[in-house]
Amino acid sequence: MDTTQLTQFLDFARLQDVHIDPQRLQVDGRIHRADVGDRPNGRNDAAYLLREDGTGWVTNFKAEGKPIAFRPELARERTPVEQQKVEAERVAWLRQQAERQMAAISDSLARWEASHEPQNFPYLQNPALPTAGLRQHSAQLLVPMLKLTEGEPGWVGAQRIAWTEPGQSADKRFVAGTPTQGAFAVIPIDGQDAEAPLRAFETAKTAPHVVMCEGIGTALALHQATGLPVIAALSAQNLPDVARALHDEMQGRMTLYADNDGERAAHKGQINALKAARILGSARTAIALPEKTSGVTPPGYDARDQLRDSGPDAIRATLDRAVPPWIFQRSHPGLAPSAGQGRQPLSPTPHLKQEKPMEPQAEIEPQQKPAPDEPAPVQQAVNLKRTEFADLNAALEQVESEQEPKPEQKVAEVSDAEKEAALLNAWREAAQPTREIRAKAWHDLNAQHQAERESLFSGLAPDGHFKFPHLWPPKLPQCRTG
């Protein structure tokens, strides 16, 4: 490989937030460790593989944890032997991942069984947080990580929070091999046995109200203030994945307690909470956003900060002010229009090769399509309205042709008033189908809007979760049908 190809691979890795030391870059077709970002807590949290033909992949274990293929423009075509080697590498990688996950589960269970009640653990102080069933192993706080497989919860690993001096940021790491995408933690946990976290999820699944948040510190603060079950995704980016996994499992209403991230963090806490709430469903989900009682709210402000600054009453008041996703986005216009999309995917770099070029397509006759935001019945009425004058002109021509005198017949004289009356009757007959279709379209649209409004407000009640005096009882306006 030449220097250009090596530079292209290093640039591609940086796009995935994977940093590889150029002096340590190995081109041998084997898996090597790399760092995530340029921070100490991202050391060895990524991997890469680079072959002699210029192809390879990188993996960011703090993101999706899946290999992202790389194929530069100058890469030559693989020979059959090289293709077989690549396939063998893929199978070996999948086997290695399965072995890593099994090792993570075994390691986490062993740590959990040998754990004990936390004793003066610094992470649970300032503010004072409950243990909520979490355990301490050696000088680390253990957070069991669960994942659903066909609706059944199971261990996939654990998060370890290191013992740090008061005032210092705690070092959080996952047990090696723990898959984080779609995995979550649940509190409170009752018991030390391996089934205790699974029972905690079963309890949360049937609870009438569950709170969902990012970090475990936020979850502990929320549980202390409300006594409700709390599900922690352990990262903002993981909130939508956890919501997708829980969509068909949770029976009660849910509140997303977002981190109040600022512009510097691209509002990732609010945006991912909004995406998760939409996945769970607007009818049963609300979003709460903590704010500092006095002064400017700092970026990254969460329930733990709120508990330390203002106490549990402030958290409960914030939950009472939770709003549905559509109201949350309306009250935070800075999240639009990218709030529903989250972080935009990185655009492909010029040196990436498109392996399967698009095939030329046959020309397609242009056709009228309804507007994307307009219901089909209304668009149908609009299209017919456009042809109304054409139908009228045809009717007028027909009337005029019928009124033309024939050579062999004597035609009676017709007054101007009779001509106007005939033209008016012809216009009415030609426009009647259009009026009927338009009226039916408005009637169908009114019924659709009525059903949507009833569905939206069906979950709201004066003593329910959403407290909007100005929205309850809902005043449903009637659409014009004429």
DSSP 184-198: BEEE----SSTTHHH
Place of tokens 């590498």: 89
Backbone angles phi, psi at 178, to 5 degrees: -75, 120
Q: Tens of pLDDT along 274-304? A: 999 999 987 889 999 999 888 888 888 999 9
Using the predicted structure, report yes or no on whether residue 349 has a pLDDT greater than 50: no
CB 139 within 8 A of CB 173: no
Using the predicted structure, report yes or no on whether residue 365 has a pLDDT greater than 80: no
So what's the pLDDT on residue 362?
40
- Say how far apart CA 462 and CA 345 lie, in whole Å: 42
- Cβ neighbors of 91 (< 8 A, separation 6 or more) are none
3-state secondary structure of 392: helix
So what's the pLDDT on residue 372?
45
Using the predicted structure, report yes or no on whether residue 96 has a pLDDT greater than 70: yes
So what's the pLDDT on residue 338?
44
Q: Where are the domains of the chain?
A: 3-77, 125-340, 368-399+416-455+465-482
Of 83-97, 206-220, 292-306, least confident by mean pLDDT is: 83-97
* pTM passes above 0.75: no
- Say how far apart CA 363 and CA 211 lie, in whole Å: 53
Using the predicted structure, report yes or no on whether residue 342 has a pLDDT greater than 60: no
**Burial of 236 by CB count in 10 Å (0-12 exposed, 13-18 middle, 19+ buried)?**
buried
CA neighbours closer than 13 Å in the CB half-sphere of residue 341 = 6
CB 287 within 8 A of CB 334: no
Task: Identify the DSSP state of 18.
Answer: E
CATH class of 125-340: alpha beta
Rounded to an integer, the average pLDDT of 87-108 is 87
So what's the pLDDT on residue 352?
36
CB 289 within 8 A of CB 274: no
- 227 vs 72, higher pLDDT: 227
Q: Count other Cβ atoms within 10 Å, centred on residue 60.
A: 22
Q: Strands of 56-60's sheet, edge to edge?
A: 18-19, 32-36, 46-50, 56-60, 68-70
- 73 vs 425, higher pLDDT: 425
Q: Dihedral sign for Cα 299, 305, 307, 310, please.
A: negative
So what's the pLDDT on residue 437?
80
Using the predicted structure, report yes or no on whether residue 204 has a pLDDT greater than 50: yes
Give residue 85's pLDDT band: very low, low, confident or very high (50, 70, 90). Answer: confident
So what's the pLDDT on residue 226?
94
